[in-house]
Structure 1
Amino acid sequence: MKAMPWYTLLPAASEYMIEHGWTKCYSTLNQFNWFLCFLYIAVYLFLVEFGIYWVHKELHDIKFLYNHLHVTHHLYNKQNTLSPFAGLAFHPLDGILQALPHVIALFIVPIHLRTHLGLLFFEGLWTTSIHDCIHGNIWPIMGAGYHTIHHTTYKHNYGHYTIWMDWMFGSLRIPLAKETHFKEKAK
């Protein structure tokens, strides 16, 4: 919880950049095109997925970053200690690094301000849900079953919303039925 105030630095900086017109984020709907709107949202989400995958993977692969930043998040590594709180338990710099793809995407893709803010809100819900150990098994979504594997092996399932990046870059491990739920004995 001590890191939470630090998490506000990146959204505050991105809001400043948006308000000063430095990004491609817009707030009016002068000539609205539904096709382009959905295309830009898809591109934005792809860039975020790609960026978070690589930041997350490097936080594991570069031992200095893991030992000084990402280890805080992985204190919750066993199925009996993994909880939705783990979705918020980050070193401040780790949280900022993993949120950075959202800001970078603003410089590349035109997206409406409310869409961007809605996706940031969804981000908070998402990071909580992938740590709740309840796996809905909806392909190609990176559900809690996939992310629980990440917390127990450290070298699989770095993706964020989907399994695409892990599949493309060879780090995907599909959960077996027995891995997606707590063991009955643990109750």
Structure 2
Amino acid sequence: MEDYLTLFVDETSFYNRIVLGNLLPDHLWKPLPHIIVAWLRNYIGGLTLYFISGFLWSFYIYYWKRNVYLSQDFIPSYESILLQIMVTMKAMPWYSALPSVSEYMIESGWTRCYSSISEVGWPAYLAYLIVYLGIVEFGIYWMHRELHDIKALYKHLHATHHIYNKQNTLSPFAGLAFHPLDGILQGLPHVIALFVVPTHLMTLMILFFTEGIWTTNIHDCIHGNLWPVMGAGYHTIHHTTYRHNYGHYTIWMDWMFGTLIDPKEDSKKVS
């Protein structure tokens, strides 16, 4: 078992070398404990992804395609975007802890993670991935919904994100602008699923960083209209009504539990 677990350590060490080895002198990070190195790598990776995706997408929709996707009235102010960045910067060190702790649990053999797809085969890999995503979708839906329904959680945690409640206050940079504990709670289903269904480590790493890109996308107020994706059109409604469209990647949970509002429906039905 110990020999097998070294495969996980070797893989995460490889990721460390890719990120930190190209940015920092070895003496600044190699002597650090493995979990701290993982945190530093996730922190730098998270910041890089946040700013690159946020700036590129903002440049595209607010300048290059100005007034094509959004009218002038729906473009957020510089002050709103700066506030979103500041909130995210305060939370990012804490966000980075969740994947780092997940890696520690995987390397310790506490989860059902596996190292190589060849161990299970492609059919099983795809089946496990579908189950994993289903658990995440269900978990994030209910975690998000309870952050609204439980007044104390909303007041002290989730309200930080919901100050962006109009189209002209939402932007790609709002995607990670949460209270740190709020962001961690909504990421917990990813971790819980590791104990339930066999999960491929590299796929897990990709999914964690896909979250950053996804949250950028669903806060841009542009309705992609791609069924059954819970795109920005749905999520903008969530920010304006506070009680619909809690889902993450798809509309299925909201459809199942009666909280779905389609962006194409008459606005009177939203109230």
Q: TM-score, normalised by structure 1?
A: 0.92
Cα distance in structure 2, aligned partners of 1:144 and 1:28? 34
Give the match for residue 194 of structure 2.
106
**How many angstroms does 1:31 deviate by?**
3.2
Cα distance in structure 2, aligned partners of 1:18 and 1:130? 30
Task: Spell out, residue by residue over 1:97-153, the C-alpha distance to the aligned partner (whole angstroms, 9 max, x if none).
Answer: 000000001111111100111111111111110001111100110000000000000
> Aligned pair count?
179
**1:160–1:113 Cα change, 3 Å:** same
**1:47–1:23 Cα change, 3 Å:** same
- SS of the equivalent of 1:3 reads helix
Task: Spell out, residue by residue over 1:62-85, the C-alpha distance to the aligned partner (whole angstroms, 9 max, x if none).
Answer: 010000000111111100011111
Q: Find the partner of 1:55 among 126, 143, 153.
A: 143
Kindly report the root-mean-square deviation, in angstroms, between the aligned alpha carbons of the 2 structures: 1.3
**How many angstroms does 1:29 deviate by?**
4.2
After superposition, residues 53-92 of structure 1 pair within 5 angstroms as 53-92=141-180
**Higher CA-based Rg:** 2
- Is residue 2:206 matched to residue 1:118? yes
Give the match for residue 111 of structure 2.
23
What is the aligned-residue identity percentage?
A: 73
- Equivalent residues of 2:117, 2:125 under 8 A apart: no
Structure with larger RCO (C-alpha < 8 A, sep 6+) = 1
Choose between structure 1 and 2: higher helix proportion.
2
Task: Spell out, residue by residue over 1:82-102, the C-alpha distance to the aligned partner (whole angstroms, 9 max, x if none).
Answer: 111111100010000000000
Q: TM-score, normalised by structure 2?
A: 0.64
Cα distance in structure 1, aligned partners of 2:254 and 2:265? 20
Q: Which runs of 5+ in 1 are unaligned?
A: 180-187
Output the amino acid matched with 2:132.
Y
- SS of the equivalent of 1:96 reads helix
**How many angstroms does 1:32 deviate by?**
3.7
- Equivalent residues of 2:219, 2:236 under 8 A apart: yes
Give the match for residue 137 of structure 1.
225
Output the amino acid matched with 1:119.
L
Cα distance in structure 2, aligned partners of 1:61 and 1:177? 24
Output the amino acid matched with 1:96.
I
**How many angstroms does 1:11 deviate by?**
1.2
**How many angstroms does 1:177 deviate by?**
7.4
**How many angstroms does 1:33 deviate by?**
1.4
